[in-house]
Structure formats: structure tokens, C-alpha cells
Amino acid sequence: MTNKIDSYDHVLLAAIQDDARLSQSELGERANLSTAAVNRRLKQLAKDGVIERYTANINPKSLGYGLTIVAEVKAESERADLLDEMREGFRACRQIQQCYYVTGDCDFVLIFLVQDMDQYVELTRRLFHGNNNVKAFKTLVVMDRVKAGMHVPVDKSGERS
């Protein structure tokens, strides 16, 4: 089922990751494939889960989300059910754009997108102070989103970078 991803696919993936609205004929030119081949490959890549979704990136500021915050959360207990509960609480929070469960000094790294500090404080009350399994949390205020995106490195040659 899951076919090997060849160098044609690499070109296609790099291209649509950069601009998902390139036409299949345009993609065909870049990859030296016919539109029919492009069409078939894109479909297969989506079916195999290599392409997870097509999405539009929205400028957070334009919707009032002018503040990005990184938070590190340390759990009291590592009990699976309690961790799962935290995980789901974070997942359900719309202002938490990203959530990573990590090893190291803390257990979760969260990236918040909020309108202002008041909104963040309110969220910490609910998510952190309101959860007995949160032992401590640390707040890092983002001054510059130097690089933000979900881009995956794609080598057109299929080689390791």
C-alpha cells in the first residue's frame, strides 16, 4: 500500500508545501511529469498519509491574536490517567496552538496564541492553577516569531540533508 516515496514525490511535496495552489500542470513541469502522473501521485500521497492536510495559514495578528506565549508545564504525578487528562485539556483549548509532551525539566511545552496578557492569565487560571496535577509552570513571552510554520525539510534528491 504505502509505496516508496521517490524523488518525483519529493519535488511535488516540496512544491505543494510551499504553495498548495500550484496547478497540477505547473507541478508537472517542475517534476517533469505529466499532469496525469501528478494527479495520481498526489492522490496516493494523501491516501498514504504523507500529505496530512491542505490548509491556509492565517496571520494571527489580523484576527487579534497579537501575543504568542511559550509555556512549560511540570506535572505533579506521572500517572498515565492524570497525564492523559492534562493532554486532553490542552488539546481542547483553542488558544493552545501546539502542545508537546516532552522528557526533561518539564513535561509539556505549550505554544499559546492569545489576544492579550489578560486572556493568557485567565487561561493559566483555568488550565494550570485549576488543575491539581500541575506542579509548576513557566511562561516565556514571545517577542519575535522568527520562524513559524510546519514545514518539513524535503530534499528533492531524496537524500539526507
Distances (CA, A) of 125 to 47, 62, 101: 41, 26, 21
Partner touching 39 among DNA, a copy of itself, none, CB below 5 to 8 Å by kind: DNA
Partner touching 160 among DNA, a copy of itself, none, CB below 5 to 8 Å by kind: a copy of itself
7 binds DNA (CB under 7 A): no
Binding test (CB under 8 A) with a copy of itself, winner from 78, 81, 132, 146: 146
50 binds DNA (CB under 7 A): no
Question: Are the CB atoms for 73 and 112 separated by under 8 Å?
Answer: no
Binding test (CB under 8 A) with a copy of itself, winner from 73, 108, 124, 128: 108
Distance CA 142, CA 123 (A): 17
Question: Judged by CB under 7 A, which stretch of 39-47, 52-60, 62-70, 97-105 contacts DNA?
Answer: 39-47
- Other CB atoms within a 10 A radius of the CB of residue 122 amount to 13
142's grid cell = 514571545
Binding test (CB under 7 A) with DNA, winner from 11, 12, 13, 24: 24
Distance CA 5, CA 45 (A): 8
Partner touching 148 among DNA, a copy of itself, none, CB below 5 to 8 Å by kind: a copy of itself
φ, ψ at 104 (rounded to 5°)? 125, -150
φ, ψ at 38 (rounded to 5°)? -60, -45
Q: Which residue ranges make up the site for a copy of itself (CB under 8 A)?
A: 5, 13, 16-21, 48-60, 62-65, 68, 70, 87, 90-91, 94-106, 108-109, 111, 113, 115, 138-154, 160-161
